[in-house]
Amino acid sequence: MRTGSRLQVALTSMGYAKVLRLRSLKDKSVGQLVNMFVNDAFRVAMACQQIQMAVLGPVVMIPVVGYCTYIMGPWALLGCFINVLFLPLQVLIGAHIGMLRRECVKIVDSRVRMTSELLNSVKLIKMYAWEKPFTKRIQDLRKREAKLLQKAGFWQAMVVGIGPALMTVSSIVTFTAHVMTGNDLTPEQAFTVLACFTILRSILMITPFAVRSLSEAIIATRRMKDLMIMEERKALTTTPSKANIAVEIRGATLGWDAQEKAEGGTSKEENRDTKDIEEAVGRAQGEGTPVVVEKLFDINLTLFKGTLLGVCGSVGAGKSSVISAILNDMRLIKGGVAVEGEIAYVAQQAWILNATVKDNILFGEDFNSIKYDQVIEACCLKPDLEQLPGGDLTEIGERGVNLSGGQKQRVSLARALYADKDIYLLDDPLSAVDAHVGEHIFRQYIKEGLRGKTVFFVTHQLQYLSDCDEVLLLKDGRIAAKGPHRRLMTMNAEYAEMIQNYLDDEGSTDNSDSSDDEAATVTSPPSPIDPALFLRRALMNRADRARLSVRSLGGARRPRVVATAPSGGGRKFSIHATPRLVRRLIHKKEEPARQLSRTYSIRSNHPATIAAAELEPPPELPDLDTDRQKEEERALEKGYFITFLVLFQFLLNTAISVFANFWISFWLEAGDGSQSPVNGTNSTQATSSGSIADNPNLNFYVIVLGAAAVAMIFSIVLKFWSFSKVTIAAAYRFHKQLFKSVFRSPTKFFDTTPSGRILNRFSKDMDEVDAQLPFQINLLSEQLWSVVASFISIAVVFPWLLVAIAPISILFYTAYYFFRSVVRDLKRFQNITRTPWLCHMTETLQGLTTIHAYNKEKAFMQKLNTLVDQYTHSFFMWMMSGRWVLQRVDLLGISVNMTTALLVVLFQGTIPASQAGLALTYALQIAGVLQYLVRIAAETESAFTSVERLRFYIKELEWEAPETIKDADPSGTWPEDGSIQLLNLGMRYRENLPLVLKSVTCYIRSCEKIGIVGRTGSGKSSLGVAIFRLVEAAEGSIFIDGVDISKIGLHSLRSKLSIIPQDPVLFVGTVRYNLDPFDAHSDEEVWGALERVHMADRIGYLDDKLEAAVVENGENFSVGERQLMCMARALLRNSKILILDEATAAIDSETDNLIQTTIHEAFEDCTMLTIAHRLNTVMTSDRVMVMDDGQLSEFDTPRALLSNKSSRFAAMVKAAGIDVTKYIAMETEELPQTYGDSEQKNNDEVECTKL
């Protein structure tokens, strides 16, 4: 037992250590690895305990078989042979079970992997209303899994059930053959042989455990072997050629390992047979060469110490791949890579630990208050920490769920700066922050904080390149240009050509006659004092004017639309009206305000105070708790009947066995049939009635015994078929309800619950319900009925035994009572201590590159060992508690044997010898079975803690609003216009937290393009959260085309909206599966969408085109390419309302220009809300929202906001280096005369840019 526990810890630690050494996970998903560490290590540990018991079995069987032969003669060997024949039969059945389990494990891996993906992307799935389609995919996998589980469960139950029945069948066959050949059979012989067969049965009872454990352990070790032979990440041993060089890449061609094509979202690895796995093992050991997709070609790069290298290039050019090459994560095909110095790495998508902000920044380093404060200031985190409830001691949720994208990125930057390394690899760190913060970080962090450090700075913000010591331009995986900015501008290289295009456009827009002069100013800026500022402004101005159109800046020229409140009594107000005006107009109604309770909302504790005259109360919604209760009641009604039938089959099978034994006793008493045995005759008289072979009714006795044997075999097959059917159906229903309950939960559940904890329910707890619990219930039922039948049989012979059974039962219950409470709590504690190391492991797998970069493998390994040790303590105590109770129960079994033997002696001569032998046989059977009964009963009860945990998720989790609401949902063509109105909107993410949106009131017209800007954490993304109802409004309302979205079903709302999220989400599968997961569009439409987002060439370059593999999280595509694929997905969806949440943050400026053109063309008839930090992406908007601390600070056209010098937006534009006067002048020249007349007509309306 101790060895098994140690083996489990060793396998877990060894596998985790191997993962930390891997170059990449390849086709191993997070869910698959978690399933391996949790379930496979446990099964190997169980096999270690069971196999030693099975090895000792044959040693004990040899003397038992010899004694049977001595007592009864050679025919006893027939019964022993039947019992021993069960061993190879078990092996064959075990092999078949192993094959079924292998197939089942592959499906489980796919299911857990897909569930892990859904948990990581739950917000996107909810916003796209994809719960039902993905649920169907999961349930399809679950159905396939259930079929295999049922087959494996049936054969496993047969292995368990044949053992007890085998004793009865073998005794019937042996005694019949012995008597039919003319031999006499005495009670002494018969029941002695039965006692020996009972011992054989006890030995064979161990075999099902051993066979099951061995087959599962073989599968587990093969899977572990598949992980352990994966190629490890080798450390860079070469050093640069000179001491002043930090990074040197010489003629290097590098690539990524090719990903295998996935079919239906499942990788080929999951469909391999054993031969394929062995071939893969051979390739990994050097028998073959892995297939590599080249990404970087002939890279020659020398980065001197203390150099700030700015890196630019289009999407997919290879910028992040160069960083991966430096980190030694890519496969080197030719050339060499040399690095000298410690590395700090800031990933493009920030990796955040589930710990406090302070712990994330320190990352295991010693705390230095002065240094810490300097880092906070350089990363502009001080205002954010002041807003957090616990400051820097606020715990960050998993994957940074309670931080904005910009905050996560700045925490990642702070971690790198505090680490104080030699080389800094910054992968586009400014893409997720606004212009103010970006300027601050570049000046205070990169230029000042990293002064003297070697910095590899990837960016799409071209205005910062002139301040870099050198610039590296990448194109199609090759270095297109490298050198100082000024030199590149004079060399007519790719870089100078890119800059020249910007300045040519600027000259043609401002002054067509002076284009040559403008071009000349590229290398000779008018102000030699600050050439960087000139370049930044020039680049921004070019990008801004390239997007200008009469439509985009002409929002103010449109006649002002006077909007009517959706439910107001004819009262009208301007779309530019302030919140105060709107509230004043609303509250002029005579009806008092009243409380509207949304019982279906996750904000049920925060009823909204809304004017009764303006808003209708929500319709009556179905009571979700009542629906759940009715569903459970119907299930219970069916369950009681089915449970009764299954228990009746167990009872029937036991009754047949007892009948057969009593029939043998009755046959022995009958003798030769000359006299009938009567109670009260002595044993000598009962056995002196002649040989039973001379009995004239011999054939009748034999036929009845044969019929009993046939009936027993038939009942066994029927019993276990129905048992496996019922248990797997119950497990399938459990999973279905669990999945529905979890994914119907609001987003606050996922924000506050680690995904490892949820995944533990779908992996380990579900495995307990699927495989462990049915097996244990089967054993419990067999042993329970066997003990009950034994006691009843003995009591029939010796009624006085009931007097002795009473105190024995009390002692038995006392021992079991203490044991069950202890083992249940230990099992619960075991489940609790498992979750932390599962979460730690999941976190590690998601941030493997960052851990490698900071050389934190040892620290993470130590933390895992600590967490696993805590888990192992509870696991070992749980196992030892079983041994404690076995010793006590053995004493009780011996007491029953002693009492029965004493009664046989005391009642000698008053009962037939055959009945006395039968009673002794059952007494011996009790001694062997009772300890198993207690052990299995306690383990079964402890296994029900998994059911308890699953039922808690099923019954106690809060649900979102209904997906559909009858008679309240709008028509299928809604929304036809796409207008959006926010009335006094307030929102908080959870109870007892401050509002993140505060009294936001505005009106967005149909097909209007709205830009949303503001400081990081100001509430920009929260607007999208509120519109999609991921979090219900705490106050106020949202109307779309006059429909209050709080009154309609979530699916009816979300299916009509689209979003391109800040963090692009791709699923494991193919390119086509990610763009059109449910085959709703043709290939031509998919290619058309890819063409419009300029990804058609990139996908066309892949071998399998649309069927090319996409690995977990889309890691085989750059972040920019992932964002473009998400945009193509939105194009195919073609919704009336679209939200772009930093959708082009990781895309270069040139591609961004093209994408902006595509967006305006493709979504011309859509209402579009663009959340952006790049101000030039919102300058083309009809109007701009400026968010500040959850409030709508400004809302007007770009021209109006830029004209107001005190405007926040104007200040942000100025800080970004954009010429404000240019936009005002251009807009004034293009304004038609009619606008002045229109404005004069609306002088009586209230307008304001300060909302």
Summarised one tens digit per residue, pLDDT across range 1012-1054 is 988 777 888 888 889 988 888 888 899 998 889 988 888 888 8
Name the DSSP class of 1001. Answer: E
Tokens of 511: 């002054």
Closest residue by Cα to residue 155 from 81, 104, 218, 82: 104
pLDDT in tens, 130-179: 888 888 888 888 989 988 888 888 888 887 777 667 777 788 888 888 88
Q: What percent of the chain has pLDDT over 90?
A: 6
Q: State mean pLDDT over 1092-1109.
A: 84
Q: Is the CA virtual torsion 863, 869, 870, 871 positive or negative? A: positive
| Cα angle 288, 290, 293; round to 5 | 150
CA 74 – CA 364 distance, rounded (Å): 75
pLDDT at 604 over 50: no
CA 409 – CA 306 distance, rounded (Å): 24
CA 83 – CA 754 distance, rounded (Å): 51
Q: Predicted confidence band at 456 (pLDDT cuts at 50, 70, 90)?
A: very high
> Which residues are within 8 A (CB) of 292 and not within 5 positions of it... i.e. 6 or more apart?
255, 256, 257, 258, 331, 333
Pairwise pLDDT comparison (587 vs 1001), residue with the higher score: 1001
pLDDT in tens, 275-319: 343 343 343 334 445 678 888 889 899 999 999 999 988 877 888
* DSSP-based three-state secondary structure for 582: helix
Q: State mean pLDDT over 1160-1171.
A: 82
Cis peptide before 975 (omega within 30 of 0): yes
Q: State mean pLDDT over 1158-1182.
A: 79
Pairwise pLDDT comparison (643 vs 587), residue with the higher score: 643
The interaxial angle of helices 1220-1230 and 531-547, nearest 10 deg, is 30
pLDDT at 625 over 50: no
pLDDT at 820 over 80: no
**Element (H or E) spanning 1080, and its range?**
none
- Specify the range with the lowest mean pLDDT, choosing from 427-436, 624-633, 657-666: 624-633
pLDDT at 425 over 90: yes
CA 384 – CA 390 distance, rounded (Å): 11
CA 786 – CA 724 distance, rounded (Å): 20
CA 967 – CA 353 distance, rounded (Å): 46
1103: exposed, middle or buried (Cβ count in 10 Å: 0-12, 13-18, 19+): exposed
pLDDT of residue 205: 66
Q: In Å, how far are 233, 259, 954 from 27, measured between CA atoms? A: 16, 7, 32
> Which segment, 196-210, 661-675, 698-712, is predicted with the most confidence on average?
698-712
> Which residues are within 8 A (CB) of 790 and not within 5 positions of it... i.e. 6 or more apart?
922, 923, 925, 926, 929
- Specify the range with the lowest mean pLDDT, choosing from 450-459, 827-836, 1040-1049: 827-836
The per-residue DSSP string of 747-798 comes to: HHHHHHS-HHHHHHIIIIIHHIIIIIHHHHHHHHHHHHHHHHHHHHHHHHH-
pLDDT in tens, 494-516: 677 766 654 444 333 333 333 33
Q: What percent of the chain has pLDDT over 70?
A: 78
pLDDT of residue 259: 60
**Element (H or E) spanning 1079, and its range?**
none
pTM comes to 0.63
| Cα angle 638, 643, 646; round to 5 | 130
Q: Predicted confidence band at 233 (pLDDT cuts at 50, 70, 90)?
A: confident
Q: Predicted confidence band at 574 (pLDDT cuts at 50, 70, 90)?
A: very low
Residue carrying structure tokens 């400014």 = 430
Q: Are strands 594-596 and 608-610 parallel, antiparallel or unpaired?
A: antiparallel
- Specify the range with the lowest mean pLDDT, choosing from 70-74, 552-556, 644-648, 992-996: 552-556
Pairwise pLDDT comparison (273 vs 973), residue with the higher score: 973
pLDDT of residue 925: 72
Closest residue by Cα to residue 1178 from 750, 634, 548: 548
> Which segment, 217-221, 592-596, 639-643, 985-989, is predicted with the most confidence on average?
985-989
Q: State mean pLDDT over 17-22.
A: 87
The amino acid at 858 = K
Tokens of 1204: 């107001």
Q: Predicted confidence band at 236 (pLDDT cuts at 50, 70, 90)?
A: confident
pLDDT of residue 74: 84
pLDDT at 557 over 50: no
- Specify the range with the lowest mean pLDDT, choosing from 376-380, 432-436, 996-1000: 432-436
Q: State mean pLDDT over 382-391.
A: 84
> Which segment, 653-657, 677-681, 1031-1035, 1108-1112, is predicted with the most confidence on average?
1031-1035
Closest residue by Cα to residue 886 from 782, 786, 777, 812: 812
pLDDT at 1138 over 70: yes
CA 617 – CA 615 distance, rounded (Å): 7
Pairwise pLDDT comparison (561 vs 629), residue with the higher score: 629
Q: Predicted confidence band at 619 (pLDDT cuts at 50, 70, 90)?
A: very low
Q: Predicted confidence band at 1202 (pLDDT cuts at 50, 70, 90)?
A: confident
Q: Predicted confidence band at 1146 (pLDDT cuts at 50, 70, 90)?
A: low
Pairwise pLDDT comparison (535 vs 19), residue with the higher score: 19
pLDDT of residue 1143: 66
- C-alpha dihedral, 391 to 392 to 398 to 404, nearest 10°: 70
pLDDT of residue 113: 83
Indicate the length of the chain as a whole number. Answer: 1251
pLDDT of residue 455: 93
Tokens of 1223: 């936009």
- Average pLDDT across the chain, whole number: 75
pLDDT at 414 over 90: yes
The per-residue DSSP string of 1146-1178 comes to: TS-HHHHHHHHHHHHHHTTTSEEEEE-S-GGGT
78: exposed, middle or buried (Cβ count in 10 Å: 0-12, 13-18, 19+): middle
- Specify the range with the lowest mean pLDDT, choosing from 50-59, 191-200, 515-524, 792-801: 515-524
Kindly state the greatest CA–CA separation across the chain: 135
pLDDT of residue 415: 92
